[in-house]
Every structure is written in structure tokens, then in C-alpha cells.
Amino acid sequence: MLTWIQGEIVENKQWCTDLFSLKIKIDPLKFKAGQFAMVGLDIDDKLVHRPYSVINTPQDSLLEIHFNTFEKSYLTTELANLKSGDAIHVADRLNGLLTLDQVPDVPHLWLFATGTGIGPFISILNTAEPWQRFEKIILCYSVKTVKEMAYRADLEQLKSRYPDQFCFVPFVTREKSPDTINARITTYLESGELEKRVGLQLSPELTHIMLCGNSRMLEEATMQLENKGLRRHTRREPGHIATEKYY
Ligand SMILES: Cc1cc2nc3c(=O)[nH]c(=O)nc-3n(C[C@H](O)[C@H](O)[C@H](O)COP(=O)(O)OP(=O)(O)OC[C@H]3O[C@@H](n4cnc5c(N)ncnc54)[C@H](O)[C@@H]3O)c2cc1C
């Protein structure tokens, strides 16, 4: 059973037509960077709720979520209309295993995100732990158009802060733009260009990889990684690939 607490919208940031982030004032919630919250609204006398990754770190005072609307989307269409001062429900227990306590000690942490799947990685990368634990952190972030690349400024800032440790590889699939790769992550991975560009090998001895976003990317990338000898990671059977599927 979920226990709901009420929060208040502090900010609704619109990145582009169909992409938003909400900041929510709420009593402090206990969670680990990378986890998701159940978020809900009263719609037609019913509490409609869905899971959303938390963008902020456990130390931050405001809860932040990031989402997109799409044709016939139900809850997100309503979330997109929220204004400062509006009420929102959040379940008091957060969940999810896309967290660093699930990651063994390896030199290289790779992160693959499509669209709003960047959420858990923003939270994780804004904590101290990954920078203390991994020699190299490689983030591949893919969106359709440049304006959909939310949180890019934060990621560029991390790149300036950790120039030798952080490798940020932005992908934009449906238009060409400077400093981004005009291909899907999986196309670039399969051709071997990703490892060449980053200058590191994806191998079971060196790598742990977290994937977040749509099922197509997760399935294709997992298959390609398995061809390189990496295995799915579970708590019972430690491996190298951890995934979180949004839809
Ligand atoms: C663990 C977890 C964490 C998640 N975190 C996030 C997050 O941080 N941000 C986020 O935006 N979403 C996230 N999602 C997806 C989210 O929970 C909702 O499914 C999504 O927002 C759609 O809800 P809706 O009510 O607007 O649409 P619905 O009316 O429920 O959508 C109908 C169908 O559309 C498809 N769909 C779902 N999401 C999308 C999408 N983005 N684009 C196109 N089709 C889609 C699905 O097949 C779904 O069944 C997460 C899902 C899971 C399981």
C-alpha cells in the first residue's frame, strides 16, 4: 500500500513544446540517487499515479521530476499544466535499483540514456560518490532534436569540473548540430565508433553500464553488450548491465 503525502509545485520549467521539469516542495523523503518516486494527481475523482525518476540528489530540499507529454498521454498532460502553488501527491517511499550501491567496483562506469531517461543519471552525477569511485564515467545521452537535450548545461558544467574523468557524448538523432553525434547510440556502439571516440573498451573486466529510457534502446544495446561478453546484472547474479525501462 502506498502512503501519499502532499507536495506543492514551486516551478514548472518547460524545455520545449512537450518536455517539462517540476520542482516540488515536500517533506524530506529518504531515497538513493537514481531511484524513482510515485507521483499522482486527482483526475476525475481518482488518484492517477505513475513512477518518475528523481532528478535531485538526496541532499537537495526540493523534489524534481522530468517528463514528456505525447499524443494521448494521460497523467503527463495534466502534470504539464501544473502551476506554482498547485498540489501534487507523492508516495512517501521511493524505489529502484539503478543506484550506485548495486554497482561493483570497476574502473569504468558507462551510462546510456534516451530522452527523459537522463533523470537518474543527473541525480547520481550530482553526488560525490561516482567521482570518488570510478576512474572514468562515460555518459551517452540521446535525444531527437537539440532543444530536447534537457540538463545539458549541468552536464557541460560537470565536464569542466571533471575534465579527465568525465566523458559526455551527446547524440541528436533527427537533426545535425555541432558537437553532437547524428546517430542512435546503438548504431554508434555496433559500428565500434563509440569505443573509438571515447578511447575505452567495453569489456567485462573494466565495465559496469547502466541504461535508462525506452525499451528499443535497452533491448538493442543489451544485445550488443552481451555480444561483447557483458552480462545482465541482478542482485543474485552479479553482472555488468543494469537497466530501467520507462516504456
Ligand atoms: C521505473 C520507471 C520510472 C519512470 N520514470 C520516468 C521519468 O522520469 N520521466 C518520464 O517521462 N517517464 C518516466 N516513466 C514513464 C512514466 O511512468 C509514464 O509511463 C509516462 O509518463 C506516461 O504516463 P501517462 O499517464 O502520461 O501516459 P499513459 O496514458 O499512461 O501512456 C500510454 C502509453 O504510452 C506509452 N508511453 C509511456 N511513456 C511514453 C513516452 N515518454 N513517450 C511515448 N510513449 C510513451 C506507454 O506504452 C504507455 O502505456 C517511468 C516509468 C518507470 C516504469
Mean pLDDT by 10 residues, the chain (247 residues): 96 98 97 98 97 98 98 96 98 97 96 98 98 98 98 98 98 96 98 98 97 97 98 93 97
Residue 189 Cα to chain centre, angstroms: 19
**Residue 38 shares a structural domain with residue 79:** yes
Last residue of a domain, one of 91, 118, 146: 91
Residues recorded for the chain = 247
Last residue of a domain, one of 91, 119, 152: 91
- Measured by CA distance, the residue closest to atom 42 of ligand 1 is 70
| Structural domain boundaries, residue 149 | 100-245
Asked if 242 and 210 count as a contact pair (C-beta separation under 8 A), the reply is yes
Model confidence pTM above 0.95:
yes
Asked if 213 and 115 count as a contact pair (C-beta separation under 8 A), the reply is yes
**Residue 165 shares a structural domain with residue 87:** no
**CA-derived radius of gyration, the chain:** 18
**Residue 235 shares a structural domain with residue 196:** yes
**Residue 225 shares a structural domain with residue 121:** yes
- pLDDT value of position 1: 85
Nearest to 11 by CA among 65, 84, 61: 84
- pLDDT value of position 16: 98
**Residue 27 shares a structural domain with residue 76:** yes
The total domain count for the chain is 2
User: How far away, in angstroms, is 247 Cα from ligand 1 center?
Assistant: 6
| Phi, psi dihedral angles at 86 (to 5 degrees) | -70, 155
229 lines ligand 1 (CB under 6 A): no
Which is it for the CA torsion 45, 51, 53, 56, positive or negative?
A: positive
**Residue 194 shares a structural domain with residue 161:** yes
Asked if 36 and 52 count as a contact pair (C-beta separation under 8 A), the reply is yes
| Phi, psi dihedral angles at 241 (to 5 degrees) | -120, 120
227 lines ligand 1 (CB under 6 A): no
**Residue 151 shares a structural domain with residue 52:** no
CATH number at 145 reads 3.40.50.80
168 lines ligand 1 (CB under 6 A): no
Asked if 183 and 174 count as a contact pair (C-beta separation under 8 A), the reply is no
A 10 A CB-CB count for 201 gives 12
**Residue 109 shares a structural domain with residue 75:** no
**Cα 4 from Cα 37, distance rounded (Å):** 11
**Residue 147 shares a structural domain with residue 181:** yes
75 lines ligand 1 (CB under 6 A): yes
- Measured by CA distance, the residue closest to atom 34 of ligand 1 is 73
* Residue 175 in grid coordinates: 537533426
Strand partners for 42:
47
User: How far away, in angstroms, is 53 Cα from ligand 1 center?
Assistant: 11
Substitution site in 47, 50, 56, 144 for ligand 1 pocket (most atoms within 8 Å of beta carbon): 50
Asked if 86 and 22 count as a contact pair (C-beta separation under 8 A), the reply is no
**Residue 153 shares a structural domain with residue 232:** yes
Q: Rounded to a whole number, what is the distance in angstroms from the first to the last CA of the chain?
A: 23
Q: Which residue has the cell 564515467?
A: 137
**Residue 190 shares a structural domain with residue 79:** no
116 lines ligand 1 (CB under 6 A): yes
**Residue 80 shares a structural domain with residue 151:** no
Last residue of a domain, one of 44, 74, 91: 91
User: How far away, in angstroms, is 51 Cα from ligand 1 center?
Assistant: 8
